[in-house]
Each structure stands twice: as C-alpha cells, then as structure tokens.
Amino acid sequence: MAAHGDHGHVTPLKQYYAVFLALMVLTAITTWVAFQDLGFLNNVVALGIAGIKATMVILIFMHVRHSTRVIPVVVLSSLFWLALLLVVTWTDYYSRGWLGVVGR
Amino acid sequence: MSHEGEAVVGLHHQFDTTLQQKEAASFGMWLFLVTEALFFGGLFCAYTIYRWSYPESFTAASRTLNIQLGTFNTAVLIGSSLTMALAVRAAQLGKNKLCALLLALTILLGAVFLGVKAKEYADKFEHHHVPGPTFHFEGEGASHAQMYFCLYFAMTGLHAFHMIIGAGLLTFVIVQALRNKYSPSNYNFVEGVGLYWHFVDLVWIFLFPLLYLIGRHH
C-alpha cells in the first residue's frame, strides 16, 4: 500500500474527465443503437454498453481500481448474489409449467 | 502503526493508521451498497419476468416515454457523478471550498434530473398512464401495459427517492466542508457519500436502456 501514499490513491483529473467523456459517448451510442434493428442483439448491445459504463464508474469514480483487495471481493459478491436472485427465479418461472402441479 | 501518546487528528482510537480507518469506512459503505444492489435487484428481477411474459405490452408502453428527456437526464446524472468524483478528490487534497462548490454543483444537477423526472411523471398523469382506476392505454399491447408502468414508477420512484436522500447527505457534507472539516487524513464521509451517489448513477445506467430503449427500432 505504500505506493498509494499514506491517505489512499489520488486519481489524476485527466482520468476522471476521460471516464466522463467515455460515459457520454456511450450514452449517445446506446440511444442511437436502440433505433437500429439488430433483432435480439438490441438487448445484448444495450445491456453490454450499460455493463461497460457501470464497470468504468465502479473502477474509476468509485475507486475500486486502487482500493484494497477486499473491496473487489465485496463488489463481486454483490454480483454473485444478484445472479443467484435472478437465475434461480428465472429457472423457476421457466420450468414451472413442465410439471402438472396441482393448484397451479 | 500507531505511536503511543502521539495523537493523529481525526484518527479514531480503534484504528492504527488513517489509511486503515479510511479503508474500513469504504468497506462498510460497500457492504451497504451490496444490500442496495439486492434491494433494486428484486425490482430488476420482477421486470425481467414480466417483460418476458408480456413483451408486446412492454414495447408499446416503453415507447410512450420521452426518449429525449431520458437521454438528457442520463447525461445530467453522469455529469453529477463527475462533479461528485471531483468533489471527493478536492476533499482528498484538503481543498474544502472547492469541495463544497463541486458538491453544490452535484446537488444542482441532481435537482435538474428530478425536475425533468417530475415533468415526465406529470405527462404520465396527464395521459392516464399511471396505474390505478384512471389508467387508460389503447392499441397493441394494451393488455398488460399497466404492469410496465407499475414497474416504471416503482423503479424510477425508488431511484428518485435515493437521489433525494443523496441531496440531503450532500447538503450536510457541504456544511461540513465549509467548516473545513475535511483533510487528506480524513475525508471518509465525503468518500462514502460519493460511493452512494455513484451507486445511484449505476442504477440509472441500467434503468435507462431497460425502461426507455425497448423496441424503438420498429
């Protein structure tokens, strides 16, 4: 941690401005792409861009890139629990009709 | 490591160093944000289930939203995230006045976002697109359009509520900054509020494509 100084890493201004610019450009792209017909890929692209934007915000604005190692673990754990919440619910809704459950 | 009898300004006794104190504060805030992610996650989960069940209704209802206002608001919120990040940096360098100014700018941008949101809500009331007894929606996909608007209001409403809380927190931090409370050895509260504000931005980054950008190409 010594490399980060005594009080944590100070992000250079340029990096903040670069992330801001990238977020703006990606917002413009995602809105533009929404009007193009890419079939089911529209959703993939929209969520992909949102994912890239989120990653930049988390790494730079939220300082995870220069944080202690435990912070990325916490961030990933939130994704893990979110995935559990979503995937288990989805499989339930998707497969419930497969069995003739009484009362359904 | 701490040295006996040597008091570091702003360092609480249970920590060895200000860096350790800062990391503990960030860690705690991140744990809170995990619970927040799951809180919003429940709504996102409901959204996916209903969108799969009624894709036509979701497309038709989504297209009644004003995409210009939505895109504008996304840009405004990203701008507020930048000013927030810069405010944290100012606090980190002990520049309290600059920090207060940037935080005021953040609140201003947040207020613009909420103002635009209020305009969008007003339009929804005017067009009877608010779920309830007065709900009215015609055309293709009308059958379950109300479900989309339930989720629209629940998700954007909860998001806006978070922003209002954030504005309150920011006001407190501005007052503290004007009292020169923050220094390179202790700006943890600004950092924590910053994390919270960026998280609210993160939620919107996903809400925007999911609510505004469905089926626009038809």
Number of domains in chain B: 1
Which residue in this structure is represented by tokens 């479900």?
Answer: B147
Instruction: Place A97 in a pLDDT band, splitting at 50, 70 and 90.
Output: confident
- B54 falls within a domain: yes
d(CA B113, nearest CA chain A) in Å: 16
Contact (CB, 8 A) for A34 and A14:
no
Given a cut of 60, whether residue B209 has pLDDT beyond it is: yes
Residue B103 lies in a domain: yes
- Amino acid at position A30, single letter: T
What are the chain A neighbours of B48 within 8 Å (beta carbons)? 86, 90
- B-facing residues of A in 46-65 (CB < 8 A) are 46-47, 49-50, 53-54, 57-58, 60-63
How far is Cα of residue B98 from the mean position of the Cα atoms in its chain? 22
CA–CA min distance B102, chain A (Å):
14
pTM over 0.90: yes
Going by C-alpha positions, the residue among A89, A38, A46, A45 that lies closest to residue B48 is A89
If you average pLDDT over residues A3-32, what whole number do you get? 88
Rounded to whole angstroms, the Cα distance separating B172 from A53 reads: 29
Contact B203, A53 (CB under 8 A): no
Question: Domain ranges in chain A?
Answer: 10-66, 69-97
Q: Look at residue B30 and tell me if it is in a domain.
A: no
Section B3-17 average pLDDT: 74
Given a contact cutoff of 8 angstroms between Cβ atoms, the answer to whether B207 and B74 are in contact is no
For residue range B140-194, what is the model confidence (pLDDT) as tens digits? Answer: 888 899 999 999 999 999 999 999 999 999 999 999 999 999 999 889 999 999 9
B10: in domain: no
Q: How far is CA A54 from CA A20, A23, A80, in A?
A: 12, 9, 16
Q: What pLDDT sits at residue A1? A: 38
Closest residue, chain B, to A22 (C-alpha) = B78
Mean pLDDT of B117-143: 92
Res A18 pLDDT > 70:
yes
Tell me the average pLDDT across A29-37. 95
Closest CA to B135 of B64, B71, B204: B64
CA distance B78 to B87: 14
CB-nearest to B184 from A7, A20, A74 is A7
Whether B37 is covered by a domain: the verdict is no
Handedness of CA B40, A47, B211, B116 (dihedral sign): positive
Whichever domain contains B56, its CATH number is: 1.20.120.80
Contacts of B60 (CB under 8 A, 6+ apart): B137, B139, B140, B141, B142, B145, B215
What integer pLDDT is reported at residue B10 of this predicted model?
A: 76
Tokens of B68: 């210009």
**Residue A73 neighbours by CB distance under 10 Å:** 11
**Does A80 score more than 60 pLDDT?**
yes
d(CA A4, CA A8): 5
Q: Is the pLDDT of residue A4 over 70?
A: no
Note whether ipTM > 0.85 here: yes
Q: Which residue of B has its CA nearest to A30?
A: B209
Residue B106 maps to a domain:
yes
Structural domain includes residue B136: yes
Whether B26 sits inside 8 A of A63 (CB atoms) is yes
For residue B92, the surrounding DSSP H or E stretch is: helix B67-92
What is the domain range of residue B155? 43-213
Q: How far apart are CA A21 and CA A15, in angstroms?
A: 10
